[in-house]
C-alpha cells in the first residue's frame, strides 16, 4: 500500500508516520520498502491486460483448489 500510494498520489503519508502507526521503526520500514521495490525490479506499473490477469487467475485457481 505504501508504494502504491506514493506511485499514484502526489500527497501521501510519510514513512515516519506509517512506521509509527504500523509499530515498526522508520529504519525497518525504509528497509522493507527498498527490499520490496528491489524484488519487483521497481516495476510499480501493472499492465491490466497482461500481468494483472495472469496473477488474478493464479490467485483464483489457488483458492478454488483449497478445501473450505
**Statement: residue 9 has pLDDT above 80:** no
DSSP conformational letter for 1: -
Dihedral of alpha carbons 35, 40, 43, 47, sign: negative
Per-position DSSP letters for 2-57, written without gaps between them: HHHHHHH-SS---HHHHHHHHTS-HHHHHHHHHHHHHHTTT-----IIIIIHHHHH
Residue 1: what pLDDT? Answer: 64
pTM of the model: 0.60
- Of the candidates 14, 18, 9, the one whose C-alpha atom is nearest the C-alpha of residue 44 is 9
Task: Provide the pLDDT for residue 30.
Answer: 95
Amino acid at each position: 500500500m505504501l508504494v502504491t500510494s506514493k506511485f499514484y498520489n502526489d500527497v501521501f503519508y510519510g514513512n515516519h508516520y506509517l512506521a509509527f502507526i504500523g509499530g515498526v521503526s522508520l529504519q525497518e520500514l525504509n528497509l522493507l520498502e527498498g527490499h520490496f521495490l528491489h524484488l519487483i525490479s521497481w516495476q510499480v506499473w501493472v499492465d491490466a491486460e497482461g500481468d494483472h490477469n495472469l496473477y488474478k487467475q493464479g490467485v483464483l485457481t489457488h483458492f478454488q483448489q483449497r478445501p473450505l
